[in-house]
Amino acid sequence: MNKGFLIDMDGVIYGGNHLIPGADKFIEALQKRNIPFLFLTNNSQRTPRDVVNKLTGLGIEVEEDNVFTSAIATGWFLARMKPAGTAYVLGEGGLINSLHEHGYALVTQNPDFVVVGEGRNFTLEMVNHAVDMILDGAKLIATNLDPSPKTMGWTNLGIKSVVAMIEEATGVKAFSVGKPSPVMMRVARKKLGLQTGNTTIIGDTMDTDILGGIQMGYRTILTLSGVSKRADLKSYAFAPDLIVDTVGELDLDEWLEGPSSFLHGQAGMNGKLMVQN
């Protein structure tokens, strides 16, 4: 039975514009062995073509079908909730394309949904307009609830910040589609045609990748090359199955052939710490 991977990108494959050591070799190994995988990103601005172009520049050759974004998941979700519906969008690029591809019309009044994604071009006036629409009955959807990075010079607020403003102004809670939501996690798995127990998610963030994987019953691998660090684990009531410094250190054979759960604290592949969910 096939086993495969859902792979976060920023912090696992690259950091900013720099390839994380060994990430290219890991993807190459998956391709040579025909192991199914999807790059799973909460970034709703980028289209799959944008993602492919970025990876190509880092020396990783993949197809658009290897990319699954929160924008794609949002388009799928809305089409299921209300086929051929309408949306007012605070977002750009990939989100707009996905909604069109899923049969949605983008409108500036009386929408079925207000959809919030990443973007630099929407204004406070647009946010005020969205608030009025929600108070008039439109449903509030967020492509994800990623926080702002809280670093100087950042020009793109995390969606969580924008959504929090709209939620406070309307008294309405947003439904989030992206990681760790089961919506995105389940649709991505089904796209690969995998069973739950044969799906592994690799990520650098405990609050999204690892949490979402554990909630879905997937096997989980935390890389320490991004957001979450080993010292952070003490703050969580859950833990990944495996911790590696980088994805390039993963022993693919041993992981694929090993059991789906491991004893807490037992030394595993290459002496790396493996812990049980």
Q: Which residues pair with 133 in a beta bridge?
A: none
The pLDDT of residue 265 is 36
Between 91-95, 156-160, 261-265, the lowest mean confidence (pLDDT) is in 261-265
Q: What is the tens place of the pLDDT at every residue in 116-152? A: 998 888 889 999 999 999 999 999 999 999 877 666 7
- Classify residue 64 by burial, with Cβ atoms within 10 Å: 0-12, 13-18, 19+: exposed
Confidence band of 5 (pLDDT split at 50, 70, 90): very high
The pLDDT of residue 274 is 45
Upstream peptide bond of 48 is cis (omega within 30 degrees of 0)? no
Q: What is the tens place of the pLDDT at every residue in 22-48? A: 999 999 999 999 999 999 999 999 999
pLDDT > 80? residue 276 = no
pLDDT > 50? residue 270 = no
Q: Are 158 and 193 in contact (CB under 8 A)?
A: no
pLDDT > 60? residue 201 = yes
User: Please, which residues have CB within 8 angstroms of residue 87's CB and are 6 or more apart in sequence?
Assistant: 78, 99, 104, 105, 106, 107, 111, 112, 113, 114, 115, 141
Q: Look-up: residue for tokens 């990075």?
A: 149
What's the token pair of residue 198? 């044969």
What's the token pair of residue 53? 């172009």
This prediction has a pTM of 0.89
Confidence band of 156 (pLDDT split at 50, 70, 90): low
Catalytic option among 10, 232, 245, 251: 10
Q: Are 118 and 43 in contact (CB under 8 A)?
A: yes
pLDDT > 70? residue 243 = yes
Catalytic option among 8, 112, 146, 204: 8
- In the residue annotation, 10 being an active-site residue is answered as yes
Integer angstrom CA distances of residue 214 from 185, 186, 257, 264: 11, 12, 20, 15
**% of the chain residues with pLDDT over 90:** 79
The pLDDT of residue 158 is 80
> What CA–CA distance (Å, rounded) separates 157 from 155?
7
Q: How many CB atoms lie within 10 A of CB 15?
A: 14
SS3 116: strand
pLDDT > 90? residue 271 = no
More confident residue, 277 or 123: 123
What's the token pair of residue 19? 């390839």
Report DSSP state, residue 225.
T
Q: Which residues pair with 266 in a beta bridge?
A: 274
Pick from 63, 95, 50, 51: nearest CA to 77: 95
- In the residue annotation, 65 being an active-site residue is answered as no
Confidence band of 94 (pLDDT split at 50, 70, 90): very high
The pLDDT of residue 259 is 60
Report DSSP state, residue 10.
B
The pLDDT of residue 144 is 94
The pLDDT of residue 162 is 92
Confidence band of 226 (pLDDT split at 50, 70, 90): confident
Q: How far is CA 221 from the centre of its chain?
A: 15
